[in-house]
Amino acid sequence: MKRKADVEGRRRVLCDAAIQILADEGAKGLTHRKVEQRAGLPDGTTSSYFRTRSALLRATAERVAELDAIDFEEVVQRCAQAETKTTDTTLSVLAEMVMRSAAGPALDRSRARYELALHAHRDEVLHSALQDVTTGFVALSERAVTQLQPGPVDRALVEKQARAITTFINGVSFRQVFGHPGVESAEELTQLLHALVAGVAASHHVHNGQL
Amino acid sequence: MKRKADVEGRRRVLCDAAIQILADEGAKGLTHRKVEQRAGLPDGTTSSYFRTRSALLRATAERVAELDAIDFEEVVQRCAQAETKTTDTTLSVLAEMVMRSAAGPALDRSRARYELALHAHRDEVLHSALQDVTTGFVALSERAVTQLQPGPVDRALVEKQARAITTFINGVSFRQVFGHPGVESAEELTQLLHALVAGVAASHHVHNGQL
């Protein structure tokens, strides 16, 4: 019987190889055989861990969510450690994380994320695995905007603001993947996120008769 | 010899079938044979028009750009006809167009656009075909934000604003495709676009020492 730690380690290696293949060749290029070859493992290894293509895609989505969660945690830690807690601390750390994903392994992961997301409307379980990615990101965004609210926290407003900045960052990431950056620097992105957060607050207050 | 109009009509029918297949099955499902079957045309038709897969993908990207251009033109016409030229005319018409693409044939086209875009980093000619889509959209966005500028037009500001709203709309479209809408209504989207445009202007002026 395989030990649990070995099994998990092996699954991780296979999923990391799958992320690379999705990034390089797209969903079209992903096969069980290519995954084990890329991972340098014997023929048949991928099938012994993931019987179907769907199982492989889902596990890869979970691995993407896991790697994203590590990045999100780093953002949270860096914000907690920041010496000066200026109002824009979290948004600027978030913006830096987004801009880092324009290159290297994080760009590969973004490409894989989009390949999986496009496939998700044809696979409900994959869709829910990817939802964990979205949920983690929305939680991080809510944390960032909560910090920016003066006085008692208005949950409805926080949700609207978090959704707006998540949507904007989806656009930024997509353009990075496509090779047409939508923003040029973390500083510019921080400013745009602030503009959105402030704009959502203004229109929220107008609608609630507070202005 | 085939007549030019027939050739163009036939190419269009094949590309429309390719858009449907990309939307339903992803790039993985796209084959020459499936395209002619979907279009109800004889075996070998697709190959006689598009010898390679790459040629088929490029022509499909051009067809997406053509259909997008028709939508963009409609937005321009509707704005020109609007009785009251309030400052938000163009942004709200643009927002309505974006929200319409959350369903029906426009959603299929969005899905196809994302499938093609993800493939574009592996195919330079496809990348430049898709750039026409982006260029058309940026031109439309620039038109919208120019209308909102008081006084003489600041080109650098218009470009920044247009890029910001295009990026935001990329995020909105992506979330529609993924099945997690980022905004709920054209009204909400209009407000968010205004917030972004105003936010970019404010930070632009701060940086240029005008405030």
The DSSP string of B95-108 is HHHHHHTTSHHHHH
Q: Find chain B residues with C-beta within 8 A of A185's C-beta.
A: none
> According to the model, what pLDDT value does residue A34 have?
97
Closest CA to B126 of B48, B52, B70: B52
Q: Find chain A residues with C-beta within 8 A of B115's C-beta.
A: 118
And the tokens for A191?
Answer: 């400013």
> According to the model, what pLDDT value does residue A86 have?
57
Residue B84 pLDDT class (50, 70, 90 cuts): low
Q: Find chain A residues with C-beta within 8 A of B167's C-beta.
A: 168, 171-172, 175, 182-183
Which member of A117, A178, A183 has the closest CB to residue B117?
A178
**Looking at chain B, which residue has its C-alpha nearest residue A181?**
B167
Which member of B27, B166, B199 has the closest CB to residue A196?
B199
Closest CA to B115 of B52, B39, B61: B61
- Would you call B166 and A182 a contact, using CB atoms and an 8 Å cutoff? yes
Q: Is residue A74 over pLDDT 70?
A: yes
Which member of B25, B127, B172 has the closest CB to residue A179?
B127
Q: What is the ipTM of this complex?
A: 0.87
- A18-22, A85-89, B130-134: which has the minimum mean pLDDT? A85-89
Q: Is residue A30 over pLDDT 80?
A: yes
And the tokens for A62?
Answer: 């979970």
Pairwise CA distance, residues B68 & B81, whole Å? 20
> According to the model, what pLDDT value does residue B211 have?
46
Residue B143 pLDDT class (50, 70, 90 cuts): confident
Comparing B210 with A69, the larger pLDDT belongs to: A69
- pLDDT per residue as tens digits for the range B108-123: 999 999 999 988 888 8
Comparing A133 with B127, the larger pLDDT belongs to: B127
- pLDDT per residue as tens digits for the range B160-207: 999 999 999 999 998 888 888 888 899 989 989 988 988 888 878 777
> According to the model, what pLDDT value does residue B138 have?
86
End-to-end CA distance of chain B: 67
> According to the model, what pLDDT value does residue A50 have?
97
Task: Report chain A's mean pLDDT, rounded to a whole number.
Answer: 87
Query: How confident is the model over B13-17, as a mean pLDDT?
Result: 97
CB atoms within 10 A of CB B210: 9
Pairwise CA distance, residues A106 & A178, whole Å? 14
Q: Does A163 touch chain B (CB under 8 A)?
A: yes
Q: In angstroms, how far apart are the furthest CA atoms of chain B?
A: 67
Comparing A89 with B117, the larger pLDDT belongs to: B117
> According to the model, what pLDDT value does residue B62 have?
93
Q: Find chain B residues with C-beta within 8 A of A25's C-beta.
A: 122
Q: Is residue A210 over pLDDT 70?
A: no
- Would you call A195 and B191 a contact, using CB atoms and an 8 Å cutoff? no
- A45-49, A181-185, B44-48, B87-91: which has the minimum mean pLDDT? B87-91
> According to the model, what pLDDT value does residue A211 have?
46
- pLDDT per residue as tens digits for the range A52-71: 999 999 999 999 989 988 88
- pTM for the model stands at 0.88
Closest CA to A192 of B159, B158, B196: B196
Percent share of chain A, pLDDT over 90: 42
Which member of A115, A172, A191 has the closest CB to residue B203?
A191
> According to the model, what pLDDT value does residue B86 have?
57
Count how many Cα atoms sit within 13 Å of the Cα of residue B183 in the half-sphere of its side chain.
29
And the tokens for B120?
Answer: 């574009």
Closest CA to A164 of B189, B197, B92: B189
Pairwise CA distance, residues A136 & A128, whole Å? 13
Q: Does A126 touch chain B (CB under 8 A)?
A: no
> According to the model, what pLDDT value does residue B83 have?
59
Pairwise CA distance, residues A151 & A194, whole Å? 18
Assign A202 to helix, strand or coil: helix
And the tokens for A55?
Answer: 């199982």
And the tokens for B28?
Answer: 């993985």
Percent share of chain A, pLDDT over 70: 94
**Looking at chain A, which residue has its C-alpha nearest residue B197?**
A195
- Would you call B180 and A118 a contact, using CB atoms and an 8 Å cutoff? no
Query: How confident is the model over A159-167, as a mean pLDDT?
Result: 91
Q: Is residue B42 over pLDDT 90?
A: yes
Helix intervals (H) in A26-154: 32-39, 45-49, 53-81, 89-100, 104-120, 124-148
Q: Is residue B210 over pLDDT 60?
A: no
